[in-house]
Every structure is written in structure tokens, then in C-alpha cells.
Amino acid sequence: HCSSTWRFTEWEEIGEVDENYAPIHTYQVCKVMEQNQNNWLQTNFILNQGAQRVFLELKFTLRDCNSLPGGLGTCKETFNVYYYETNDEERRNIRESQYTKIDTIAADESFTELDLGDRVMKLNTEVRDLCPLSKKGFYLAFQDLGACIALVSVRVFYKKCPFVVRNLALFPDTITGPDSAQLLEVSGTCVNNSVADELPRMYCSAEGEWLVPIGRCMCQAGHEEVNGSCQVCKPGFYRSALQTKSCSKCPPRSFTKVEASTSCQCEQGYYRTESDPSNMACTKAPSAPRNAISNVNETSVFLEWSAPEETGGRKDVRYNIVCSKISTDSGQYEPCGSHVRYLPQRTGLKNTSIMVMDLLAHTNYTFEVEAVNGVSELTAPLRQYVSLNVTTNQAAPSPITVVKKGKTAKNSISVSWQEPDRPNGIILEYEIKYFEKDQETSYTIIKSKETDVLVDGLKPSSAYIFQIRARTSAGYGGFSRRFEFETSPYSLLFHRRCGYSKAKQDPDEEKMHFHNGHTVRTYIDPHTYEDPNQAVHEFAKEIDVSCITIERVIGAGEFGEVCSGLLRLPGKREIPVAIKTLKAGYTEKQRRDFLGEASIMGQFDHPNIIHLKGVVTKSKPVMIITEYMENGSLDTFLKKNDGQFTVIQLVGMLRGIASGMRYLSEMGYVHRDLAARNILVNSNLVCKVSDFGLSRVLEDDPEAAYTTRGGKIPIRWTAPEAIAYRKFTSASDVWSYGIVMWEVMSYGERPYWQMSNQDVIKAVEENYRLPGPMDCPTALYHLMMDCWQKDRNSRPKFEEIVSILDKLIRNPSSLKGLVNPSNRVSNLLVEHGSPEGCVFRSVEEWLEAIKMGRYTELFMERGYTSLDVVTQMTLE
């Protein structure tokens, strides 16, 4: 960049040769014998060409002052380099004071007289940078203060990142920035026939290197990348999406005749649906089904056929059934009507069989089995089907739908009913099945030729379930649905004993059990005692404080600390216990509430209810002593052991909780705050219900929220009637138990996740429910959905829940069927009553629901004893 035009004083321009005898052009000065030297050499104007940082490379030789006799006092071994930045290309006379010093240059190697004799040139190279530059150009100047120096070469240059094509993006020549640590961000430009997937960028470093490529360009559809450019797809090839890298050959039964095709056209007679991907072969409609056969059973027909010989090249072949019958009026074929049922469904069948039910007896039917696939609607209107003609036989009567209660007495009920809608022959007799409610395993059957009967030998004031079916020469019809009737109570009046109702519990929900004609109350609310101490002393044992050893604090509550410790009663071995203490400075109300929980616990004695050991009230601090549960609360325990238990172990935990709640329900106690956080777990994984001080607990519970009717309620665990009307019953506890089941099967996940309490209330009111947890057996999820019935009277009792769980534990294979995982993806909540929420408790109940109750015995004989086994049935 420096021309040969230099301004200099005392510097000499000399032509020489280097050690290789190559000619070189140098400037030199050697005024070492004279004092006060100030010799300047200046370049002409140098354009910086837009660079903000310029490098200066100097090559020079310098004489060793020690090799110069007589010059030690004035000889120097350094020189100075300066620059002057300006926009004026013609400026020549620059004062010394206007220059900016770059550096003082010293030689790494200097030469002597001997080197001159041997013609050895000790060449030094030094590089310096000038920055930041902001004007059009600059002058360089070299100042000698008395050295013997030859300036062999001066090279001025800047660094740049060179033009490059990267990821189908063009990046231009880019001059580096003024800072040695600076990275310049440069945007690229997509090559022809490409688009930016993400804006392509790279960083130009101070050393002229491209770094950190970000983003890229993609060839447009119909083009592919070849050697850094985008080339068109040839005829017979296509590229439809940016995500695919290269052009693809047209799939079978499709073609393209032009370049740059984005898709291939189907051959005549072949099609694609809108949802078919472009790389899928074109297909056609299937041929008709083959080998169709029928099997008539009274008024049901089982149809079976073989798959079409030609599927059209698709895997989505489905079957539709068209049913028609000969009209008794016109003698012409007409549609079968809406009363005919198809199992599993009439259209969109995947399997090659179907059961058609509820046909008319002694009637001619024609069934058309049509094969369709995804492109059938795109083809000509010609249907592909096979026909079967069948004639039905005499059938058993249809189920009875109307059953009424007549006169009732304390030991009898009069029942009447209407003849079935479709007798299908002469009714020979009726069969009446009845049992005491919740005692289904112990039932009685009587027969009658009339449409009414008097059933006696019943218990007073008890509910009974009745089911009735008719019989013709073709056999029994299905049982009617269940009808519940109640006998009259004893005429003897019973007076309620004052002080036996639970605080805040509705009078009509108080529990009474009849035993040998006497009314027995099992739970007494301690809040009804005028003196709380009387309730504590009646239900809890006083323990001397000397028998207790407190070891460590394991938690804290509203009234004080919770500790673990040891209890050693006289004549008994030492046992670990949990100790709740009442902190100093308590109010009388706090003391009453604190001991109220002990008064409640002291009335319970069950392996799945936390056991009260006793209380300390005669010394301070006041204490409640309970058994020690090593694994703490159930929700925390499950979170710590996520995925560590078998399904049977989890069901065992749920069975224990249900057993404890059954006991509380039988005692007439409504918990009102059943949740996994209030279940404790011991070292043997036994779960026990705890926390019986609802009013106290909820005041200190982050899960509780105020309702519009006032008072705090744990919304996520509480039944809708309890939220809306504060209607707490054992049925509302069952709802809460369903939530606990969900917590257990999801290993402590929070019900309804991050939904607000108001959103939870709204969703439940709109009939939405929690979806089945991951890997949750279908049988358990059905039980959860039963617990979440909106009508509290439709929810199972705890006694039923225990019975169901016992059956599942005895039959582990019934737990193999899992909730469909796709439901968890598509729905945050499941609508109650959707297929996921349809619940049948037994094979018999399912058969009755689909009007095939008469086949119950046959199902049992063939080993289809549980719903999970039924779901695995095949036509073979």
C-alpha cells in the first residue's frame, strides 16, 4: 500500500541485494556519531479502504552500537513509528506534534562489522496495529534519533473474512472490526431457488475467520441441494417439503412430466385422500368382502365374512352394514329401523364380524356388508358389498321396563309390573329376583304366572332391590333394570339421644343401625359436651408424662410441634410414638380444638385408622400421643418413590384406606377432609386415615379455599354438593376417596394440576372429571369414575369399594387392562359419561345393559368372569 514516493530528511534511498543476492529497495540512516539526531521518513497518503483496524509489518536491520567505535555516547538501537489520520490526500507538510505515536521499535537481532564482512543480513520483523481508524486514510512516519538502521520493507494491510457459501447462504467479503475481541454479525443471502428456514448468520472474528453459523437456507419445494446450489427436480421426481433433503422418485401409481414438481399426479383410477402424505402410493377402493356367512339365534344374527381379495393398496379397510327387511304391508324391502342394535357398531367396523340384535321374530332380513377405505368416497358411486338373506326364529321376550311398588308393611312389599314390550310368544311365567340392598351375593328367586306378587319375610325399614324377567317357550328374557323399594319401619318410636350428632352434620344424614330392635349410636361428637375435658377423659387414656421420651422434632402445626419419641407404659415394652404438643400461650378455644381431635380418635379402633395411645393433660405441655408412622404422609411418600411399587401394592394401599373409611362410615363419622396428605404410612406400607380436626386443619391448610357460602373447604378433594351446599355425608367422603385413588395411581400428582379452585369447581359442575393416570388399570379408573358420580346416591358405598378391591386383589389379571393413553393426550379432563367414563361393575351388569342378560350363565361357563377378560374376547 506504500508507494515509492517518500518524504525524508537524512534518510537515504539505496538499492541493495539480500543474502540470496535478490535486489531490494531500502531506506537507511546511520548518523550515530552526531548528537541530537531527529531524522524523519514519511510515506505518501494511504487509503484505509473502509478498514477500522490496519496492521503495519516492518522489516529492518539495525547496527549493534557496541560494534561502532566512538559512537557509544550518541548511538541508539531503537526508532519510533507514527501515523497521522486525515481525509486530505494532498496534505504533505505535517508537523511532528500532529503525529500519533504507534510504538518505539527495537531490534531482536542487531548486526556487527563481522556480519557485514560475511554478508549476513539479520533481518527483524515487527507487526503493529492502528485502531480505531475512522477517516479516509493516513500517513506513516518513521523517526530516527541516532540509530544505524535500514528499513527494508513496510507492508500495510487489514484482515477480512472472505466470501463463502455456507448452508446455502452467501456471505460477502467482510472487513474485521476495530476491536481484537469483537465478533461482527453478518447476515447471509439465500442462494437462488432457496428460502430461509431461519435467518442465516455468521460471525466474522478479528482474525478474519468465520465463526458460529446460525440458521440456514433450504431449497424450495421442487428443488434439491447439489454442491451448494438448488437444482430443479427432474421429470419423474418431486420434492414436496422443505424438510426432505433431496428429490424423490414418484410413488407407485403416480407420475410427473415437468421439472420442479412438488407432488406427483395419480394415474387414472387411483386416488389420494387429503390426509395421505405425498410419498404414499396412489390407491383405489377395495373389492367386495368374500365368504359371508350368518348364524341366526332367535332374534339375533351373527354375521361373519372374509376380507376383500383386493384392498386397493390401503390398510384402512372398514366395513359398513346395511340392514333391510320385507315390509308386512307393501311386501317391499325397507330399512330395519332404529330399534335394531349392532355390536360393536354398524359402520366403520375394523373386524370382519358383527352381532345384530333386537330383530323381529319370524321376519326376512337382507344384510349388505360393504367394504370401504379412505378413497372410496373419491371413486365412482359403485358400492362393493356382499349380501346375505336370513330369517329370524322365535325369540325370548324382551326385558320388562315398568315395575311398581304396591302396599308395604314392615315385613312385606307388594310388587307389580307390565308385560314386556315384545313378548315374542306366550308368557309362561315370571321370575322375581330380590335381595337386601348391598347384599347382592345373598338373593332369593320366586316365580309367578301373574304380573304381581307379594314378597314377605323382609326386614323392617330396609331397602330391597328387585329384578324381574319373563319366560316363553324360547326361554327367559333379560332381567329388568334394578328397582329399589323399602319396607315400613317399626311402629315403635325411638327418641334420639341428645349429644350424639356430629357438629355441622345434617340431621337427615345421622346414622342409625338396628340390632335386635335397639337403636345403637356408635360415634359421639365431643363438641356437644359442655366440658371438653369430660369428652377427653371418656374417650382418651391419660398418660403420665414420665412415660414419654421426646427424641426429635419431625414437623410443626398450628398449635405446636410434632415430635417422634418413645412410650414406655408400666409392664409393657417401649414403643415408638408420635407426639403432638400444644405450645405455650394457647387460648381455651385452641386447647379445646386440640384435645377435640383426641376425643374423636379415641372412639376409633381399626387397623386402618391412626391409633390414639393417650393424652397428657395434667402437665404442660399438653400432648396427644399416637402410634408412629415411619413413612409419613402418603402423598410425600409416593412422590419420593415414584414408580417403585407394583399395581397390586398400590391396590393394597387403597384397600386399606377404603377399609378404614368403611369403618368410619359404619360408625356414623364423616371425615370431610379425606386426602393423601391426611393418610399416614407405616414401615409395612399399611395406610391409616388420620387428621380428624377438620376446622383446625383447614384454617392452616394451603389447599383449602373459602366458598361462596363461607367457611374453608379443600376444593380439589370435595364433592360438588359439599362445596355448593355444605352437604357433607359418607357419599361426599366417597367422592374424596376417588380423588385419593387418583393421587395414589399418579404417585402423588396434584389433582387438577395448576387449575385454579374456581376453574375446578366449574369443570366438575360441567361434568368433567380427571383423566386416568398413566398406566392406571381400567378397572381402577372405572371405580374412580363411579366415586365421582354427580348424584351422591349413585356413588358406591365404602363397603362396596372394599369388596371390589378385594376381588381385584384376588384376580390380578383383571388389572392388566390399562386406561387408553391417547385419552390423556387429547383431554385434560374427561367428560363423565364419555366412553372412558362408562362404568360396569360386572359381566352380568354389562350383559344386562346390552340386553343380553340371558347369556350370563354361558359367559360364566366359558370363563368370561370379569370385564377385563371380556375385553380380550376374539371371534375365535
Dist CA 603 CA 53 (whole Å): 90
Looking at residue 97, the DSSP 8-state letter turns out to be G
Dist CA 568 CA 578 (whole Å): 13
Phi, psi for 558 (deg, rounded to 5): -65, -35
**Is residue 580 a known part of a binding site?**
yes
Coil, helix or strand at residue 53: coil
Q: How many helices (H) and strands (E) does the chain have?
A: 15, 54
CB neighbours of 53 closer than 8 A, spacing ≥ 6?
A: 129, 130, 131, 132, 133, 158, 159, 176, 177, 178, 179, 180, 206
Cβ–Cβ under 8 Å, residues 613 and 771: no
Half-sphere exposure of 227 (CA within 13 A, CB side): 0
Among the listed residues 551, 573, 571, the one whose alpha carbon sits nearest the alpha carbon of residue 562: 551
CA distances from 332 to 324, 325, 327, 335 (A): 10, 8, 5, 10
Cβ–Cβ under 8 Å, residues 168 and 65: no
User: Which triple of cell numbers denotes residue 491?
Assistant: 311402629
- Looking at the DSSP bridge assignments, the partners of residue 296 are 301
Cβ–Cβ under 8 Å, residues 792 and 719: yes
Dist CA 861 CA 466 (whole Å): 25
Dist CA 839 CA 739 (whole Å): 17
Among positive and negative, which fits the CA dihedral 859, 861, 864, 866? positive
Among the listed residues 219, 252, 249, the one whose alpha carbon sits nearest the alpha carbon of residue 235: 249
- Left, alpha or beta for 830 (phi > 0: left; psi -120 to 50: alpha)? beta
576: amino acid identity, one letter = P
Half-sphere exposure of 724 (CA within 13 A, CB side): 9
User: Which triple of cell numbers denotes residue 459?
Assistant: 326386614
Coil, helix or strand at residue 224: strand
Dist CA 872 CA 248 (whole Å): 43
Looking at residue 519, the DSSP 8-state letter turns out to be E
H-only helix segments in 629-787:
634-640, 647-667, 694-699, 720-725, 730-745, 757-765, 778-787
Looking at residue 813, the DSSP 8-state letter turns out to be G
Dist CA 247 CA 251 (whole Å): 12
Dist CA 633 CA 649 (whole Å): 17
194: amino acid identity, one letter = S
822: amino acid identity, one letter = S
Dist CA 3 CA 471 (whole Å): 122
How wide is the angle at C-alpha 54 spanned by C-alphas 53 and 57, nearest 5°?
145
- Looking at the DSSP bridge assignments, the partners of residue 124 are 60
Give the residue numbers marked as catalytic. 673
Half-sphere exposure of 812 (CA within 13 A, CB side): 6
Coil, helix or strand at residue 870: helix
Looking at residue 690, the DSSP 8-state letter turns out to be -
Residue 435, Cα to own-chain centre: how many angstroms?
A: 45
How wide is the angle at C-alpha 522 spanned by C-alphas 516 and 526, nearest 5°?
150
Coil, helix or strand at residue 378: helix
Looking at residue 818, the DSSP 8-state letter turns out to be B
- Residues within the annotated binding site? 580
- Residues within the annotated binding site for ATP? 580
